[in-house]
Structure 1
């Protein structure tokens, strides 16, 4: 049967992808950011999964205000990098895993979570930047990836509790798949940041690090945090952090092993957070 071995959490700042694509990763401003992922790249090489289930949010690339799914699972065989206004990123196409994706969709929908099944879509920086941070610039990504898009752009967005419980349903689905697969679940987005209005540029280091502490030690309690607290403490775009609760909910019920923790300010106008947790 399939199993979840680890979860990975990371910000998906678009400027990080641009810095990598334009050869700026060694510049003094960006070097500390990429240094925080050196361990992670080696860890992934040594712990390469068969499939990555990657939770992210679309930034009006595959979806728009005309169609806003709360949860959407990519069931296609492949996904092309999206053109976000300046051409697609020069990264490999994403190879999907239709069989596992379809199984997860069936299981999770039968567990009363409504998913939108997507058989064709392009994937933007929300998905490709985490892959770049963990994999560098390969000719092909190291394994198939199942994209799982969450609406955290247009209100109403799902609650932290809903996301955490959805993660548990995804764990149940993966563990009932009848192939021997090593699966990692990645949660992306955040950390504290706001892109517009009088508080544009807001970063709250205290909130971010407290969030990381609680995500590791007591995710069930963290899942009760209301939306207004994310917005007040972490900025309007800080609500992306509810996606990390999907990945955390997919872990087993025992305390995880923390393999890596990294936090850095700034990267563009965003705080960068990163965790690797292993099931024990």
Structure 2
């Protein structure tokens, strides 16, 4: 049986990749942010997960406003990161895991999730920045990745409760996979931020910290919010919390917090990282 060993939450701001490329991790602006990651990298290097299931949102690279699936999953053997409009540097492709991907996709459809299943798929900074953060130097090619994309850009968007249910269904699917592999779950994006309009720059630190607490101890409390409430509380892009909520839904056993860090602002965003250890539920 596949074993979900733990989970990580992280921001996926594109400026992070630029800071790493320009060796700015120890500058006064970036150091409090990057200081949160060594314990997570150490854990990943010790545990050596075979597969990462990574919840993220596409920012218009693969899915533009004319075609926007609510939920999508990649089932390819490889994923490439393309230019998102600012001349992004070429980075190594991301290794996929097609067998487990197809198992999850089939299980999700059987459980009532009408997924968009992508046999070819470009991935953007929402997926590649977290991988580069965990394996600096873009040294992530050894780990297989299953991308799960949630619409956080164009209304109507899935509500927090539905994203939590998606995570639960993915956790169930992984548990039923008859291979002895270890899996880690990544929830990316957020926390509170708004990048445009009259409220641009809003950050709700108190709410961000409360979300991090609830994600560990009472995740279902976060499913009581609507997307509109998240926007009102923390800004338009706070709906990216839904990727964290989906991640937490996949952890159906005992969860223990190992590490956390929160820093704001980073690129007008409240940025948090959590490392959670997971014990599989008993049969």
TM range, normalised to the smaller chain?
Answer: over 0.9
- Any stretches of 5+ residues in structure 1 without a counterpart? none
Matches within 5 A, 1:106-145: 106-145=106-145
- The 5-angstrom pairing of residues 181-260 of structure 1 reads 181-254=181-254, 256-260=255-259
Note the C-alpha offset of 1:86: 2.5
**Mapping of residues 1-280 of structure 1, within 5 Å:** 1-254=1-254, 256-280=255-279
d(CA) in 2 for partners of 1:40 and 1:91? 22
CA distance in 2, matches of 1:279, 1:98: 24
How far has the Cα of 1:88 moved from its partner? 3.6
Whole-Å separation in 1 of the counterparts to 2:174 and 2:89: 30
> Please, which moves more after superposition, 137-146 or 243-252?
137-146
Count of aligned pairs between the two proteins: 279
Per-residue deviation, 1:139: 4.0
1:192–1:234 CA contact under 8 A, matched in 2: yes
In 2, the alpha carbon distance for the partners of 1:108 and 1:3 equals 18
Quote the Cα distance in structure 2 between the aligned partners of 1:86 and 1:200. 21
Given that 1:191 and 1:270 are in contact with CA atoms closer than 8 Å, whether structure 2 keeps it comes out as yes
Structure 1 range deviating more: 135-144 or 54-63: 135-144
Shift of 1:147: 0.8
Tell me the distance in 2 between the aligned counterparts of 1:93 and 1:260: 29
Compute the TM-score of the two structures, normalised by the length of structure 2. Answer: 0.96
Alignment RMSD (CA, Å): 1.2
Shift in Å at residue 40 of structure 1? 1.1
Once the two structures are superposed, residues 93-112 of structure 1 have per-residue CA deviations (whole angstroms, 9 ceiling, x without a partner) of: 10100000000000011000
Q: Helix, strand or coil for the counterpart of 2:265?
A: strand
> What SS does structure 2 have at the residue aligned with 1:19?
helix
Q: What does the per-residue CA deviation read over 1:156-200, in whole Å, with 9 as the maximum and x for residues that have no partner?
A: 110111011111110111111111110111111100000111110
Q: CA deviation at 1:141?
A: 2.8
What do residues 104-144 of structure 1 show as CA deviations (whole Å, max 9, x unaligned)?
00001100011000011111100011111111114443310
User: Matched residue of 1:137: which SS?
Assistant: coil
- 8 Å CA contact 1:21–1:90 kept in 2: the answer is no
